[in-house]
Structure 1
Amino acid sequence: MDAASFIEKRRFIVRLGKMLHKFGTPAYRLESHLQEIAKLLQIGASFAITPTVLTFVLWIPGDDNEYTHVARVSPGELDLGSLSKVDELVDALASSKMTLRDVEIKLEEIANAPNPYSRWATFAAYGASGGAFAMLMRASWHDVFWACVLSLLVYLFVLWSERSRRVAHMVEPLVALVSALTATAVSLYLDPMINVPLVVLSSIIVFIPGLALTLGLAELAARHLVSGTARIMDAIMLLFKLSFGAFLGVAFGQALFGQIPPQVAPSVPAWTSWLAIAILCGSLVVVFKARKRHALWGILSGFIAYAASLWGAHYLGLALGAFVGAFAVGLYGNLFNRLMNAPGSIVSLQGMIVLVPGSKTYIGLNAFVSGQQMVATDGLGQQTFLIFMSLVAGFIFANVALPPRKAL
C-alpha cells in the first residue's frame, strides 16, 4: 500500500468515526464498527472512544510507523436517520458499488443535511411526548393536558438554545425551572387538580437521561470502563441540574404565587397506556430524526418492550420484567439487523426508552431533595438499580441468543 492510499483511507476512518460519534453511537459499538472498516480497508487500527475524546491509531500492516489522531469532541446526540444513511454508504463501499472518494462526498452531504422533519413537526413531537409520558405514569387528564402544554414551552427554549451559546450551557436547569414555575402558577390560578411535580417531570422527559445511564452501564459491562464511567457521570450531573432547576422553580412559584392544598383527580384509564406507547414512540421518531421507512419498526419496538415487560412482571416481578422486555427488544433489533441489513439500534432505541427507569431515578432524587414523593413508590432506589441491571443483562443475553451481523 502506497502512502497516498494510506492517507486517503486514514482520513476516511477518522471522518467516519467522528460522524458516527456525533450521531450518538456508544463507544463499544463504534470501536467494533471502526475495526471492521479498518479490516475492510486492509490497514491496522486501534481506537479509544469516550464521550468527549476520540483517539485513532492507524498504520500500514508491516510498517512500524503509526499515525495518531486525537480529537476533543462534544457528546453526540441521537440522529438515527443519519446513522442509517452512513451505514448504507459503508455497505456500498464494502460491495465496491462506490469508491472511497464517492463515499466521502456523500458523508459530507449527510453532515450538512438539514433536519428531515420541520420545526412544527418537532414542536408537536415534544408536546406529544410529555402528554404520553404522563399517561404512562397513570396521571389524570388534567396532568396530561398541562404536560403537553409545558412540553411545547420547553421546545421554545430548545430553539433558543440553538441560537445562543449561553442558553445552551444552561438549558437543562432552565427548562426545569420554567416548567416548575409555570406549573405552580397553573395549579393556583387555572387548574388546582394537577400534580405539579409529575407535570414538571413529564414536560422535561426528553431531557431525562435514562437512556444515557443504560448505555453507560452497557459500556461498563463491555469493559469500556472510561467511556462508561464518563457517560454515567454526565447523566448523573444532568439529573442533578434538572432536579435543582425543578426544585428552585417550585420554590420561586410558591414564594410568588402562594401554595394551595393539591386536589386529587382520577387517573386515566388503564387502556390509555397502549395509546401512550404509540404516541411516545411516534414522537421519538421525530425527536431522534429516524427515517420514515423505519418509523413503524421503531413504534413496534415500543409495543414489544411494553408487552414483554408486563408479561415478565406478572410472572417474575417488576425488575425481571424489565429483563424480559430488554431481551425481547434486543432480539427484535438483531432480527431487524439481519432482515433489513441496517443497524438494529435505529429501531431498538424506542423500546429501550419505554423500558429505562430514568424517570424513577429523577423521582428518587426529587424525593431526596424535597422530602416528598410525586408518586407512591416503595423501595424506589433498589427497584431502579435492579431494573438497570436487568436491562443490561437482557440485551447481553439477546446478543448471545441471536448475534447481530453489524456492530452498529
Structure 2
Amino acid sequence: MTDTPTADELGGFLREFVRMLLRSSGEGAEGVARAAGAVARAYGGAAETVMVADGAVLHVAVGGRTSTTTVTAFPDVARLDRAVALKELAEEILAGRLPFHRAEAGLKAVAARPAPYPRWAKPVGIVLFAVGFAPAVQPTWYEVGTTAVLASVVACLAVLAEGRRRLTQALPLFAAVVVSLLTVWIFATDLSHGGPVMIMLPALFYFVPGDLLSAATAELAAGYLSTGAVRLVYAVVLLLQLYVGVLLGLAVTGTPRSTMLDTVARGDMSHWVIVLSWAVFTAGMVLAFDVPRRSVGWVLALVYLTLGVQAAGTALAGEVAGTFVASVALAVTADLVARGPGRPPRLVLFLGGFFTLTVGSLGLRALTSLAGGHVLHGFHDLMDFLTIVTTIAVGLMAGAALLPAGVPRGGDAAPGPRPATGPGTTGS
C-alpha cells in the first residue's frame, strides 16, 4: 500500500465497512468480524470485533495506537447491489491494488450508489416474487390470479412505507390486515379454491422471515449465542406481526377463526408451468431486492439447483432428507462460487435457493391453524416448521464444514481460520 492509515483513520473506515456488512447480514453475522480483520491486516493493522445481531464493538490497532468504537445497523437484504459492490471493494483491498485514500472514496461510493433499477421496478418485483411463489403453495391458476391482486396491494404499501422507518417496521402487520380483509371479503368465499391461509401466504411471503429463522438456528448451533438469539427473537416478532394482522382482519369481518384451516385446493397446473414459475419468482427477487444484472444467472442457477436436489432427495428418502441434502448442496455451491473474484457474495447466491425451501410459511400456517382452534393440525404444522428450520440450519452448517480449511465463506472478505475467541465473539 502506498499510504498507511492511522488507528483513527482505519477505525473510521472499518466502522462504515462493518456497518454496511451488518446491513446485509440477513443470513448470519458470523462472517462480519473475519472480513473486518482481513481488511485491517491489508492496511498493516489488526481488528478485533465483538458481534451482536445488529451491532458490533470494533477494536482497531495500528503501529501501537488503538481505536475502539461501536457500530449499529439494522440487518436488511433490500439492497443486494451494495453487498455485491462491497465484496468487490474488499477484493481490491485484499489484492493490494487499492491505497487507503482510494478505499475510503470507494466505500463512500458504495454507500451513495443509486439503485440499479428504476423506482417502479421494486413493486413490480414484489408482485412477480409472490406470483412466482404461488404455485408452490397451491398449484392452481386461481391462486396465481388472487396472488397477483393481493401482491399488488402489498407492493403499493411497501412503496408508501419506503423511507419511513417506523412505518416500515410495522409494515408486515398492516399488510397482513389488508390481505386478510381482501381475502375474506373477496377471494375465500369458496373453499374449493383452498383455505384462506393458503390464499394469503404468497402475497405475504415477501415479509416471511425464513432466512432469519434458519440463520438464527445455525448461529445458535455454531455457538454464536447473542447473534442467534437476537435474530431468532426478531424473526418470531415478524411472524407474530403477520399472525396478528391476519387475526385482526378476521375480527373486522366477523369471520370465525375456525375457518383458518390451511386446506389445499386440487391443482390444475402442468408440472412445467410450476417449474417455470420459479424463473418468474427469481425475476421478482432480482427487482425487489436490487440484485445486479450480472448476478442474475448465478441466482437463477442456484434456485434450480436447490429445487432439483430437494425434489430428488425427497423422492428417494423423504422431505426431511431432501431438505437437508438441498441445504448442503446450496451452502457448498454458494461458498465455492463466491470464492471467485468478481462473483456475487454468498448472501446473493444463497438467498434465492433458500427461499425455495419455504420454511417461514410453515410457521405462519402453524400459528393460524392453532388460532383457529385446529390444535392437532396446528401442532402438526408447528412440528413440521421446527423440523424443517432445524434441518436447513444443520444442512447449511454441514455444507460449510465440507469446504477445505482456509477456504473463505462467500460473504467474507478473505480466507482465514475460524476464530477461536469464544461464542458470540470473533477476533483477528
Structure 1 residues 406 and 266: alpha-carbon distance in aligned structure 2, compared to 1, 3 A threshold: closer
Q: Is the 8 A contact 2:7 2:67 kept in 1?
A: no
**Cα distance in 1 between the residues matched to 2:399 and 2:15:** 31
SS in 2 for 1:355: coil
Structure 1 residues 215 and 165: alpha-carbon distance in aligned structure 2, compared to 1, 3 A threshold: closer
Opposite residue 55 of structure 2, the aligned amino acid is V
Q: 1:58-111 CA deviation, whole Å, 9 max, x = no partner?
A: 2236x3x64221134333334322111111112212223221111211221221
SS in 1 for 2:68: strand
Mapping of 1:280-295 within 5 angstroms?
A: 280-295=281-296
Counterpart position of 1:48: 50
**Cα distance in 2 between the residues matched to 1:251 and 1:359:** 22
Structure 1 residues 72 and 327: alpha-carbon distance in aligned structure 2, compared to 1, 3 A threshold: closer
Q: 1:11-33 CA deviation, whole Å, 9 max, x = no partner?
A: 11111101111233621011121
Mapping of 1:151-300 within 5 angstroms?
A: 151-187=151-187, 193=193, 195-254=195-254, 266-269=266-269, 271=271, 272-300=273-301
1:138 aligns with 2:138: yes
Structure 1 residues 88 and 356: alpha-carbon distance in aligned structure 2, compared to 1, 3 A threshold: same
**Cα distance in 2 between the residues matched to 1:315 and 1:220:** 30
Mapping of 1:46-125 within 5 angstroms?
A: 46-60=48-62, 63=64, 66-125=66-125
Give the drift of 1:270. 5.1
Structure 1 residues 302 and 263: alpha-carbon distance in aligned structure 2, compared to 1, 3 A threshold: closer
TM-score by length of 1: 0.90
SS in 1 for 2:48: strand
CA RMSD of aligned residues (A): 2.8
Structure 2: runs of 5+ lacking an equivalent: 412-428
Give the drift of 1:41. 2.3
Residues 236-245 or 97-106, more deviating: 97-106
Give the drift of 1:209. 0.5
Q: 1:36-56 CA deviation, whole Å, 9 max, x = no partner?
A: 222222322211222332211
Residues 376-385 or 3-12, more deviating: 376-385
SS in 1 for 2:70: strand
Q: Is the 8 A contact 2:50 2:56 kept in 1?
A: yes
Counterpart position of 1:338: 339
**Whose relative contact order is higher, 1 or 2, with alpha carbons under 8 Å and at least 6 apart?**
2
Opposite residue 30 of structure 2, the aligned amino acid is Y
1:313 aligns with 2:314: yes
Give the drift of 1:135. 0.5
Could you tell me which of 34, 44, 53 is aligned with 1:32? 34
Counterpart position of 2:408: 405
Moved >6 Å (runs of 4+): 188-192
**Cα distance in 1 between the residues matched to 2:329 and 2:189:** 46
Give the drift of 1:214. 0.8
SS in 2 for 1:57: strand
SS in 1 for 2:162: helix
Residues 245-254 or 153-162, more deviating: 245-254
Structure 1 residues 105 and 339: alpha-carbon distance in aligned structure 2, compared to 1, 3 A threshold: closer
Structure 1 residues 316 and 263: alpha-carbon distance in aligned structure 2, compared to 1, 3 A threshold: closer
Counterpart position of 1:23: 24
Structure 1 residues 339 and 109: alpha-carbon distance in aligned structure 2, compared to 1, 3 A threshold: closer
**Cα distance in 2 between the residues matched to 1:128 and 1:115:** 19
Counterpart position of 1:127: 127
Opposite residue 59 of structure 2, the aligned amino acid is V
SS in 2 for 1:28: coil
Give the drift of 1:241. 0.8
Q: Is the 8 A contact 2:23 2:77 kept in 1?
A: yes
SS in 2 for 1:268: coil
Give the drift of 1:314. 1.4
SS in 2 for 1:203: helix
Counting matched residue pairs gives 401
SS in 2 for 1:69: strand
Counterpart position of 2:149: 149
SS in 1 for 2:47: strand
Structure 1: runs of 5+ lacking an equivalent: none
Mapping of 1:359-398 within 5 angstroms?
A: 359-372=361-374, 379-398=380-399
Give the drift of 1:334. 2.1
When you count helix as a share of all residues, which structure comes out higher? 1
